Amino acid sequence: GQQVMQIPQYQHVQEGEDFTTYCNSSTTLSNIQWYKQRPGGHPVFLIQLVKSGEVKKQKRLTFQFGEAKKNSSLHITATQTTDVGTYFCAGPINGGSQGNLIFGKGTKLSVKP
Amino acid sequence: EAGVAQSPRYKIIEKRQSVAFWCNPISGHATLYWYQQILGQGPKLLIQFQNNGVVDDSQLPKDRFSAERLKGVDSTLKIQPAKLEDSAVYLCASSFRITEAFFGQGTRLTVV
């Protein structure tokens, strides 16, 4: 069945270091979304990428969507303690456009001050 | 604007008991989702509603789980009877357009 995989599962960084998480789908995606979940919190939408090769930036966060629309990455420059949490990528189930998503297992980021 | 409201926040039940969760989406959001998030995993879609109609319930264990969205606003998710493996956080989400989903705080269910 359709799978969305994320690596690494965990990442521990010193404050100020960069961080990257990678997302790979077993199927071509019409779009990919990224969510952040703080410890004890709920997922919060960060961004949606739609176009092949698309790159979007949000302050220190850079999101990329692969040319084949099967992979994506999130890069954080100069991490801060406020970046702590689990980052999930998610894509439409079975290539659809109904909004129902399949999530990866997430990458848990911890930042040491 | 007010966010997605869910209740209760926590629930502990014994296996084979029944339980119900309630969700009130953001006003004006036609699409409502229920997700199950097991510890250490990403959310898994259980059911999606568009207004009061079901769009996708292919991953809902229908022998024990049921959900409804009467009048296209509030929704309830029920488990009957509960199993130990149902221990998870149940997240309700809503969206205006089929893009970003707004999640509620979730209900943490523990089945003992």
pLDDT digits (tens, 9 = 90+) for A13-69: 999 999 999 999 999 999 999 999 999 999 999 999 999 999 999 999 999 999 999
pLDDT tens digit sequence for B14-64: 999 999 999 999 999 999 999 999 999 999 999 999 988 999 999 999 999
Tokens of B59: 């991953």
Q: List Cβ neighbours of B13 (8 Å cut-off, separation of 6 or more).
A: B19, B82, B109, B110, B111, B112
Kindly list the residues from chain B whose CB atom is less than 8 angstroms away from the CB atom of residue A5: none
- pLDDT of residue A98 exceeding 90, the answer is no
Question: Contact A42/B104, CB-based, under 8 Å?
Answer: yes
- Kindly list the residues from chain A whose CB atom is less than 8 angstroms away from the CB atom of residue B55: 98, 100
pLDDT digits (tens, 9 = 90+) for B82-103: 999 999 999 999 998 777 899 9
At CB < 8 Å, which residues of chain A contact B? 4, 33, 41-45, 48, 88, 90, 93, 97-106
Residue A95 has a pLDDT of 66
Q: Look at the block and give the residue holding tokens 């523990």.
A: B110
Cβ of B91 within 8 Å of Cβ of A43? The answer is yes
How far does the CA of residue B90 sit from the closest CA of chain A (Å)? Answer: 10
